[in-house]
Amino acid sequence: MAEIKKVGIVGCGLMGHGIAQVVATAGYDVVVREVDDATLQKGLGKIEKQLARAVEKGKSTQEDADAIRARLNGTTDYADFADADLIIEAITENLGLKLEMWKELDAIVKPDAIFATNTSSLAVIDQAASTSRPTLFAGLHFFNPAQVMKLVEVVRGVTTTDETFDAVLAFAESLQGKIAIPTRDKAGFIVNRLLVPYMLDAMRAYEEGVGSIAEIDAAMKAGAGHPMGPLTLADLVGNDTTGAICDVLFDEFRERRFAQPPILRKMLSAGWYGRKAGIGFYDYSGDEPVENPGLAR
């Protein structure tokens, strides 16, 4: 197994751009791939904005920001991953798409490179088994916003060898300010197993009229010390992502606490995916978010 120097990241969206920034900040060479140039430039633009903001705030020097940016290369071509030592996928939470992606990468990336999935809920083994390198496969689960949240869950699949696991754990620990916590390959790992039912319960509480969207959020901030309320959080995570995670958890455990509440299903049909769509539990089109009026209809 090669020493990790170059990291390929698949996806420069909500999670991928943050992961790319964190990995480049830690001194690794990064190549991040998107499906087309416009999507890639959008993701790279977000990173450039964050780097500029850090310089403005005096949290980073211009020299450091430039060095981080210089370590980051964008691509639309998987061929640029051929000599990467570690690949982290951060694409849509859809097993079929992830399997197609691994199949393509498996044929291109050098055989001793490690593959890691940033899946929120899918079993690592289901992806590992589709490749020619199940022993070199693990989970590296980052949290949104990846630049800020300290945790990285490091997931040991049933086929992950000790050597692979130790390498990805050491990699996660090498990322500045990150806390790496090992977990076993159980759907939802530690955080989403606990956090997703909590967000779904907040949706049910709203459906049952316990409080308004803003009241439920304000109550959990003021009463439980959470940095943001559960419905604001659902909008941040993306209601589409939360919907995909709870479908996986429900399929796995068949427990009501993981089932999509009707309000979530309707929001997904309406395209109200949250902050990234400009509308979710809140409407973000004005200066300040306001409760989505459509939900009261």
Residue of 31, 28, 32 lying closest to 171 (CA atoms): 28
Q: Which is nearer to ligand 3HC, 55 or 67 (CB)?
A: 55
* Residues paired with 202 in a beta bridge: none
Does 237 interact with ligand 3HC (rule: CB under 6 A)?
Answer: yes
| Shortest distance (Å) from residue 107 CB to ligand 3HC | 28
Measured in Å, how far apart are the chain's first and last C-alpha atoms? 57
Enumerate residues 173-202 that contact ligand 3HC by CB under 6 A: 192, 195
Residues with active-site annotation: 120, 141, 153, 192
Q: Which is nearer to ligand 3HC, 70 or 194 (CB)?
A: 194
Let me know: does 22 contact 176? Beta carbons within 8 Å. Answer: yes
Does 59 interact with ligand 3HC (rule: CB under 6 A)?
Answer: yes
Angle 19-21-25 from CA coordinates, rounded to 5°: 115
Candidate segments 70-78, 99-107, 131-139, 227-235, binder of ligand 3HC by CB under 6 A: 227-235
| DSSP E strand stretches across the chain | 6-10, 29-33, 72-75, 86-89, 114-117, 137-142, 151-156, 179-184, 282-283, 290-291
| Shortest distance (Å) from residue 282 CB to ligand 3HC | 14
Candidate segments 30-38, 84-92, 140-148, 214-222, binder of ligand 3HC by CB under 6 A: 140-148
Does 84 interact with ligand 3HC (rule: CB under 6 A)?
Answer: no
| Shortest distance (Å) from residue 52 CB to ligand 3HC | 11
Residue owning tokens 């604001």: 232
Interface with ligand 3HC (CB under 6 A), residue from 147, 160, 260, 292: 147
CA gap 248, 273 in Å, rounded: 18
Enumerate residues 104-133 that contact ligand 3HC by CB under 6 A: 120
Residue nearest to ligand 3HC (CB): 120
Six-digit token pair at 160? Answer: 């992950």
Residue 194 neighbours by CB under 8 Å, 6+ apart: none
Does 227 interact with ligand 3HC (rule: CB under 6 A)?
Answer: yes
Candidate segments 24-32, 165-173, 233-241, 259-267, binder of ligand 3HC by CB under 6 A: 233-241
Q: Is 151 exposed, middle or buried (0-12, 13-18, 19+ CB in 10 A)?
A: middle
| Shortest distance (Å) from residue 152 CB to ligand 3HC | 11
Residue of 193, 279, 189, 294 lying closest to 234 (CA atoms): 279
Summarize as ranges the residues that interact with ligand 3HC (CB under 6 A).
50, 57, 59, 120, 143-145, 147-149, 192, 195, 227-228, 233, 237, 241
